[in-house]
Every structure is written in C-alpha cells, then in structure tokens.
Chains A and B, each alone.
Chain A
Amino acid sequence: MANYNLRINGKNYEVDVEDDTPLLWVLRDHLGLVGTKYSCGIAQCGACTVHINGEATFSCTMPISSVGTDKVTTIEGLSDNGDHPVQKAWKEVDVAQCGYCQAGQIMNAAAFLKKNPKPSLEEIDNAMNRNICRCGTYHKIREAVALAAKTK
C-alpha cells in the first residue's frame, strides 16, 4: 500500500492503495466518483474515459502509480452544473438509451472538441469510434457532437 495525493476535478484527494490499482477503481471504490464506468477493464470500450491533463484516457488500465500530479477530470467535474456544451448537446439530442456508456462518450467528445473545435462528420466518427455503445446510439452521438461543436 502507498499514499497518493491526487488532483481530481480541481480538488486534492489522498488515498492509500496498492500501486497497481487502476485509476478507475480508485475513483469508484475509494473516492465515490462512480460516474466513470467499468465495462471491459482492458481499454477496449471507453466507458471508463476520463481526462488526464485534458487528454481522453482509459482509466481502467491506468495504474494509480502513473497518475502523479497530473490533473484528472471525471464526468462529475466536467462542469459545475452539467452545462458543459457537450452535456447540453447530449440532453438536447436526447442521446441515451440505457445510458451506461454515455459518461465515457461525453468525456471523449469533450476532449476531442477541445482539440478539434470544428470537426467534419468523418472526424467525429473517427474520434468516437473508440467508445462502444451496446444500445446502438451512434447516430445520436454523432448528432450531439456536431451540435456541441456548433454551439460552443
């Protein structure tokens, strides 16, 4: 076990966990930030996507020992009142079916649009291809990313 000082959503947290504990499980089990989801655990589906220094990252395979002083943002910290342009677009387009993957989708989309504020539809498809939605909301995801880009 070791002590880690983490910077998550603009707040400081201290946790005492094994070095190999993935960031995902530190968030979910130790800090109660359960918006970040577990689904595959092997960096294949994107349900666990968070931002590390603004970069979309799969938290399920990132050991806590490698987070260091990097700034972590989770779905809970993406905006103060759920009013990030991507969150607003997700509501406007009414994207979700079961909703389980959507936090990861939103985090991926938000990081992507920061880098590429005016993407083509093809670029949206490429960027969002790393997140699986088992319900098949892909058309709505694409529409919401395009809307967020427009309204930003």
Chain B
Amino acid sequence: MADITKTNRRDFLKIAATATGGLFIGFYWSSCDSPKMKVLSTEEVLSKAHNFNSFLSISPDGDVVIYSPNPELGQNIKTSFPMVVAEELDADWSKVRVLQAPLDNDKFDRQLTGGSGAMPHSWERLRKAGATARHLLLTAAANQLEVDMASLSTEKGMIYHKASGKKLTYGEVVMAASELEAPEEVLLKDPKDFTIIGTPIKNVDNDDMFTGKPLFGLDFYREGMLHAMIQRPPFGMKIKSVDDASARSVSGVTDVIQYDNFVAIVGTSTWPLMKAKRRLKVEYESDGNVESTFDHDKIMKELLDSKDARVMRQDGNVDEAFKNAAKVITSEYQCPFLPHAPMEPMNFFAHVKGEEVELIGPTQTPDAARMQTAQLLGIPKENITVDITRLGGGFGRRLRADYVLDAVEVSRRVNAPVKVTWTREDDMTGGAYRPAVRYRFSAALDAAGNMIGFKLRGVGLNAGNSVRQDNFPSGAVPNLLIENINYNSSVTTNAWRAPITNFLAYAEQSFLDEVALEAQKDPVKFRLDLLEQAKSSPTGSVNYDVDRMIGVIKDAAERSNWGKDSNVKQGFSVYFSHRSYVAQVANIEMINNQPVLKKIVASTDCGIVVNPTGANHQVRGGIVDGMGHAMFGNLVFENGLPKQKNFDSYRLIRMKEVPEIDVNYVDSGYDPTGLGEPALPPTGGAIANAIFAATGRRLRSQPFIEQKEFSDLNLEIRRG
C-alpha cells in the first residue's frame, strides 16, 4: 500500500514584503523548476506581481488572508484547507479571511475537485505553509525581544514570552518577519496539540449563502452581457432541419445561431430564451446509433456471455476451484444510467475578445475548461483566464467542459460577453451520465463454507473499466477472476460521485451477503474471516489496509448492536474507496408486518477528521445520496432521449425519506483522506441486505422502486 503520510515533492516557498506591507507566503505547487527559497526585495515582488502567489498573507494589523485554490461544491474545502494552514500558523481564526483563487497553473497544482483527493494531496503542503510563517514570526519576535526562540510560545495570533510576561501580536512582527530567510525545514505540530483541526469551524460562506449574495455561477452578471441557451440533439442524432421563425419572434431574443449539431438562442435575459426554446422546431435524423433502454438491457445481457472479456485480474486456478466446489452461487446485478442533477444547472460566462478569453463560472476542473477552450479557438492557453465561482453541486458533472464551450462558441459568434444557462431539462437530457452497468458474480464454496473461488464479470456502457479488480475481496480469495467488457454507446457518460464503485459496491456487498447466507455464516463474520485470510495468507497484491477495514467493520457492528436484537433486521456493508474505509449497518424493524427503515449506522476511517461538521456532512450526505439513487434514480432512454426530463418524473430523495443516520469515526491516526465520495458506495448494499433480512426479498437491480420484488413491500422510512 502506498505511504500516504509522506510526500516526495519539495514544496518551495517564496517570502516577501510588499510595498503595502505584510508577510506573503507563496506555495510553489509544482516541484521541478522552482527557484531556491529566498527573500525577495520589494522591487522583485512588484516586478513579479503578475505571477506571485500570495497564498497566505498576514497584514501589520494581524489580518490573515488565505487563498483557497480548489473549486468548492459543498465538500467544504474552502473552509477545511484554510483550517489546516491556520492550525500550524496558530492563527486567530476570527481574523482569517478566505478568498477563492482563480485558475493558476504556475502557482497551484491539482486545482481540481474530484476523486476525493484534495485533502490527501495538500495536507502536508498546507501545514508547511502555516508552520513556515509561524517560524518566521517567532524568529522576528525572538530578535525583537532578545530572547531565545525556544522560550516563546504562540496562541491565536499572539506570541508570548512567559518568563518576562511580554507579548507581541503577529501584526507587530510581521514586517520584520518578511525580511527573514525562510527555513529549509520546519517542525510540524503533534496532532494532539491541534486546536483548530478537529473542531467544528463553520462554513466560511455562511453569511453570504444565507442572505442571498451572488456567489454561484448562475448569479454572475456583467454589464452588457447577453444570455444564451443551447438546443442539443438526442444521442445518436443529427440536425436535419431547423425552423427558427417562431423562436426569433419572441421579444427579447436577439439571435438564433446554428453551429455543428447545436442551435443557440441568444437574448437579453433568461425567460425569453426559455420561451423561444419551446418554439424552436428542430427536426433530427439518426446518425446511425440511436439507442433505447430496451437495446441497452439486451446488449448488456448478451455481452455478459461474450468471449471477448478483458481479464483485469486472475489469481490461482478459478476453473479448478469451481469444478471442485461443494456449492456455486451466481447472481447478476444491474443499474441504469443516472444524471448528476446538481441543483444549480450548468452555466458559464465567456467573453471571447479576439485572441483572449475570459471565463467565469462553476467548474470542477478549471484547467480542462481552459485547455479545451484553447483547443477550440486555436489560441495559447495563457490567453485565457478562469475565475471559479461557488458551485451549486457537481457530483462529477462539472468535470466536463461542454457547457463552458457552449459559452465560448456563442460569445465568439456574437462578439459579446455571454452567459449560457442550461434549463433543468437540458441538464437531464444533455447529460453525461453515470454509466449503466451489469455484473455477474459467481462464488465457489467448499464443504466447510469457505469461499475458494470468486468471479466477477462487468459489462458497462461507456464505463471504461466497470470493475475495480484490486478491491476487496481480491487478495482474500485463493482463486479469483475479474473481467471487464466495455460497450461504446452513443450516450455520453462521465464520472459520477464515486465513479463505478457507486454501484459496484452495492452489487458486491449484496452478493457477498448472498454467499454468506449460503455458507451459513453471519455476514459480518464472513467478511472478517475473508479479511483474516487476506492478512494471514494473501493471494496476489492486497491494495487495501486490512486492519483499517476490520476496524470499521468491528466498530459498525458494535455500535449497531449487530445481531443482538431479534426485532431489528439488519443489513451490513463495507467498502474501501478513495483511500477511506466506511462500514454501514441498516436497521429495519417490522411494525404491523410492515418493514420500517429506521436507522443507518456508519463507521468511517478517513484518518484525522479535519472538520467534524464538514465530515458529518459528507458522510450523511453520501448516505442520503446513495440511498436516494438506489431507491428512486431511474433514467429510461427512448430513441436517444431520456424520458425523465425534470424533477416531476425524476425522483430525488426528500426530507421525509431519510432515516436517522448515526455517524462515527475510527481514530486510526493516519493523515486525512478524502470523504466526498467514500460514504456513498456502501449504502445501497446495507439497505438491500436489511430488506432481505426483513422480508426475504433480494434486490439485484436499481432503482428499487422499479423492481417487482420491492413494489409490494411498502417500505416505510421513519426517523426517531
């Protein structure tokens, strides 16, 4: 397993005083060509002002400004990152201000929201920045007070010399500190001394969010800008003819432009575009690849028997194991395409000014937005600026830059600043979806009920690799075969919160439940036995930390009172993804012969919890998300178009449909790992396994509400 506590990169710092005064510390996030750390003269700073990154600055009056480089979409990074810097700085949090940084490849590395990777990537860098600034402030204070630096202590932006009772504020020494040479190495705090990390610091955007300030991309306004909406073709179709006469007649519409396979409606405000879009008549014809859900189902079932599967992992001798098995269990699981459906629909602002472009809006990957714009226009990427607004959710959708390019295309054609807005219907039908996938699992048990063979074959529609060959139970089974088959569909797909594992975990954890019951073993004990096997006699590589997985399993079992109350029917699930471990237990009680889902117990090991409120949000939110989509999420295609076009037919989980969720963390002492995704994958399996325990109905496909096994169960969800 990779050592996540160490970083091989050297992070260089630049330190300087500017004409306006204060200490500025800039990170160099790229490792290769950074200059040696040094103090810059004021002239040098000013001359380099265009590329100097004041990631952290402290003013003479003690105010601390921290730039947050990563897009914020609800994962709380804009609050958590600065907390880590402020911790090592020993800052007074009430004097910290956080600003969103624009895209800057020279200053930041991985300015991206995805893969739950921000915190593990940046943890040590952020700490070093804070610690370096503190070291310089202390050195300056020691010089001024003429005392040994070791005799000084810091707390909340103050420096204390206990022996003399003297004290200084950071602001009082910041100018002197800015004249000093940065240390090569700094001492980081012992985590037991943390005073900010591990506390429920509140979201830094609360005041603005709760009073309606313009924070999000859709709120952006520029004097003189035009609005635009785009009519996109159904998947697998192309434009045959366009009749835009009626659309053009709508008051407020200034232009209708056809380009490639799109029709853009341009106007002075949003509503006329919505009206015009309904009046726009576009006739489409097949480009040879128009698909429906009926075709998808058939394709996936057929391909499961294909001879062209790609072997992703093979351990031992699977054929032999299955031949010698006392019992063989085989099951298939399937899930549909899903839209991301963030609450803020896709939108972006672009102003193409000849060879230069200004981009502003909600994106999970500003770098891709810039690269693709540069490619589209044939201009150098340096000519393009990207400002990142707050994102009204993302879930992976805003890793694609299609809606950014919409704005660029229209702006260059109308030669004006343009904000493109997608309607909800555009968002649902023009999506890039979670791929539809079908899995076939097989397990071979020996006479004692040991799993001696395991096979998984996945078929995905534009899923890339639909399996995760090195995830549990790989390593724990002596004979194992994991295979993948990808089908190129005309329906575009994209990363969707916990890509692949958002359904693979459900299928795998449900199947393991089936196997445990066939082996007549308790589902928790069954998993623990496999993990003991992975530990004592591993087969092939083991790419998860067995002890950490055992840790969350035991914690969840204990706190859910697993198996101890016969009135409570329980389902177990555990998954390792995005470097974090999460086990969940769903509790169903039979009340008047009706199953009532009352509670989900979650146990998480994400290392050090940076912000407990933020972490609870991610765990609960991930569970609510996983549950909602397992139960309700369905997208049915007919001739290249989803039938579900808005929230009247596409059901999202609501207030009354969430059970109590009990959240706990296993303190493993590791550096923090990601939490935006890992709580989602286990949820569907925990609920499905509890439903089986309570009713004997096995749900092998999502969404549950579409399954005949579920339709007459009358499952109720009740909190408290």
Contact = CB atoms under 8 A, between A and B. Distances in A.
Interface string B435-472: 00000000000000000000000000000000000000
Nearest to A100: B392
B392 A99 contact: yes
A125 interface: yes
B343 A134 contact: yes
Nearest to A79: B211
A148 B275 CA distance: 40
Interface string B196-224: 00001011011101111111101101000
Given A29-B270, A33-B212, A128-B655, A136 B625 contact: yes
A55 B648 CA distance: 23
B210 A18 contact: no
A32 B455 CA distance: 58
Interface string B513-555: 0000000000000000000000000000000000000000000
**Which of B209, B392, B617 has most chain A Cβ within 10 Å?**
B209
Contacts of A34: 212, 214, 218-219, 221
Given A18-B272, A100-B392, A101-B343, A131 B206 contact: no
B617 A40 contact: no
B620 A136 contact: yes
Contact of A90 (B206, B270, B274, B394): B206
Contacts of A135: 74, 393, 617, 621, 625
A41 B251 contact: no
* Interface magnitude class on chain B: 35 or more
Interface residues of A, number: 59
Given A98-B342, A136-B620, A18 B251 contact: yes
Main secondary structure of the interface of B (DSSP, over half): loop
Nearest to A25: B271
Interface string B374-404: 0000000000000000111111000000000
Interface in A71-115: 74-76, 78, 82, 87, 90-91, 94, 96-103, 106
Contact of A44 (B209, B215, B617, B646): B646
A99 B205 contact: yes
Given A40-B424, A42-B647, A136-B625, A94 B392 contact: no
A134 B214 CA distance: 20
B344 A37 contact: yes
A129 B417 CA distance: 39
Contacts of A141: 655
A39 B215 CA distance: 15
Given A87-B211, A99-B209, A25 B251 contact: no
A4 interface: no
A39 to B, nearest CB: 5
B656 A125 contact: yes
A140 interface: yes
A38 B425 CA distance: 12
Given A76-B212, A98-B343, A128-B655, A139 B271 contact: no
A133 B624 CA distance: 10
A94 B212 contact: no
B196 to A, nearest CB: 15
B654 interface: yes
Contacts of A140: 617
Interface string A26-57: 00111011111111111011010000000000
A140 B620 CA distance: 10
Interface in B160-219: 200, 202-203, 205-207, 209-216, 218-219
A136 to B, nearest CB: 3
Contact of A99 (B74, B218, B613, B656): B74
B210 A82 contact: yes
Contacts of B211: 35, 75-76, 78, 82, 87
Interface of B: 73-76, 200, 202-203, 205-207, 209-216, 218-219, 221, 227, 251-252, 269-272, 274-275, 341-345, 390-395, 421, 423-424, 613, 617, 620-625, 628, 646-648, 652-656, 658, 661, 719-720
17 contacts: A20-B275, A29-B271, A32-B221, A39-B344, A39-B424, A42-B646, A44-B646, A74-B212, A91-B207, A97-B617, A100-B343, A100-B344, A102-B210, A103-B209, A131-B655, A136-B621, A136-B653
